């Protein structure tokens, strides 16, 4: 998850840039003014509370504002992150946002300030005043807003300078140039964050070998539950002995066993460039588990890829493998192969459909040579890593 605060004096063009930024990176736009108006219109509990304060001539306190922001964030888990416009406005609100982000297992990625000279801002606002018809668009009011910005908001910028997540853009440039500069900052921030790529495909699609090749090529960590369980068995750890007993009795390994292994893998690989997941999640429940594991680390799934092959080709591949040293116990007969394909259809295809709705799923043709499929996958992952 990437969370951006966009700042700048009145007239800097934050509204224009916010719209472009939110669309480009699938960020949910958070303007405290707009959110408050929505709550008032909906006559929600918070909206009615704020309405009473406003009617009495008071300012809506931070206590209500932060509850509205938290409610909005938790209601939009599909977003890649959030774009804050106009919050935090004060030094105290900086700490409020820090606490809120911590509660949500996230953080503010960077603050981008559109720097515009005061006279340029005033000129822009006066130009807007000529057509807006707004009573507050006159020079006296504009100058007062500028003064308030200097007094209350500049300490906010210093707060984030000291945190090392402050970035400045020349807001006096053209709208298009400012957009490019802002997007460059966000892309650079994304590249510093680990990528999380989930690789799907029916048994026989080659997702295991392709996943390993992608991980090696891009210096990513390959996360597959099978090898992790096999490692535990080979080392005869207490967990390995338990898993071996389950295998010998034809029982499935529960999520309670698998999840700690994945969590340990993520924890031990804090400084890696990213992860490729194969074989997990297999079920809808596991998809929520993986989302939770990744979000716990302040991130989200970067890319979901589904390798496709015709059913007959899948059966032929698995049947051919059953006659080699790479044969798996579950590939030994045609009946078992068909059962595996049916299990994937019933349990894992709904997971892919879920991700298609939330993240979008990139379909890749798995037919042809290993090298040909790898080139197609490599192009997708390369674009994900460098052009997100």
Please report, in tens digits, the pLDDT of each residue of the chain (388 residues total): 689 999 999 889 888 999 999 988 889 999 988 898 898 999 899 888 888 888 877 778 889 999 999 999 988 877 778 999 988 989 999 999 999 988 877 889 999 999 999 899 888 888 887 776 665 567 888 888 888 888 888 899 999 999 999 999 999 999 999 999 999 999 888 777 788 999 999 999 999 999 999 999 998 999 999 889 989 999 999 999 998 888 777 677 899 999 999 998 888 887 788 999 998 999 999 999 999 998 887 778 889 999 999 999 998 888 887 777 766 665 667 888 888 899 899 999 999 999 998 878 999 999 999 999 999 999 998 877 754 4
Burial of 19 (0-12, 13-18, 19+ CB in 10 A): middle
Rounded CA separation 170/241 (Å): 62
Q: What is the pTM of this model?
A: 0.60
Asked, colleague to colleague, whether 2-191 and 195-387 share their fold, the answer is: yes
Just give the CATH number of 195-387: 3.40.50.300
Q: Does the domain at residues 2-191 carry the CATH identifier 3.40.50.300?
A: yes
Backbone angles phi, psi at 197, to 5 degrees: -110, 125
User: Are residues 30 and 72 in contact, defined by beta-carbon separation less than 8 angstroms?
Assistant: yes
User: Are residues 8 and 33 in contact, defined by beta-carbon separation less than 8 angstroms?
Assistant: no
Q: Which two tokens stand for residue 27?
A: 């960020």
- Residue ranges of domains in the chain: 2-191, 195-387
């Amino acid at each position: 998850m990437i969370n951006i605060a966009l700042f700048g004096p009145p007239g800097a063009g934050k509204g224009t840039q916010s719209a472009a930024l939110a669309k480009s990176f699938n960020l949910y736009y958070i303007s405290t003014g707009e959110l408050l108006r929505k709550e008032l219109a909906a006559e929600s509990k918070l909206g009615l509370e704020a309405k009473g304060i406003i009617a009495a001539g008071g300012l809506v306190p931070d206590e209500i504002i932060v509850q509205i922001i938290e409610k909005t964030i938790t209601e939009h888990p599909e977003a890649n992150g959030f774009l804050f416009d106009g919050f935090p406005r004060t030094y105290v609100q900086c700490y409020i946002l820090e606490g809120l982000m911590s509660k949500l297992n996230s953080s503010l990625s960077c603050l981008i300030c559109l720097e515009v000279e005061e006279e340029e801002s005033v000129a822009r606002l006066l130009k807007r005043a000529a057509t807006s018809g707004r009573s507050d668009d006159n020079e006296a009011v504009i100058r007062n807003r500028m003064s308030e910005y200097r007094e209350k908001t500049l300490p906010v910028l210093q707060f984030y300078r000291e945190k090392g997540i402050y970035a400045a853009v020349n807001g006096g440039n053209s709208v298009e140039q400012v957009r490019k500069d802002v997007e460059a900052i966000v892309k650079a921030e994304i590249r510093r964050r680990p990528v999380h790529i989930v690789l799907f495909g029916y048994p026989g699609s080659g997702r295991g070998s392709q996943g390993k090749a992608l991980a090696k090529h891009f210096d990513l960590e390959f996360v597959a539950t099978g090898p992790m369980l096999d490692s535990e068995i080979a080392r005869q750890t207490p967990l390995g002995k338990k898993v071996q007993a389950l295998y010998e009795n034809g029982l499935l390994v529960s999520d309670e066993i698998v999840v700690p292994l994945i969590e340990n893998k993520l924890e031990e690989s804090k400084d890696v460039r990213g992860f490729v997941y194969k074989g997990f999640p297999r079920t809808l429940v596991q998809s929520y588990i993986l989302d939770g594991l990744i979000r716990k680390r302040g991130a989200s799934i970067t890319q979901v890829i589904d390798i496709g092959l015709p059913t007959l080709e899948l059966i032929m591949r698995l049947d051919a493998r059953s006659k080699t040293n790479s044969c798996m116990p579950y590939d030994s007969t045609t009946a078992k192969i068909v059962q595996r394909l049916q299990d994937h259809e019933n349990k894992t295809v709904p997971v892919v459909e879920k991700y298609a709705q939330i993240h979008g799923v990139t379909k890749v043709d798995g037919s042809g040579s290993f090298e040909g499929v790898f080139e197609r996958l490599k192009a997708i992952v390369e674009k994900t890593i460098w052009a997100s």
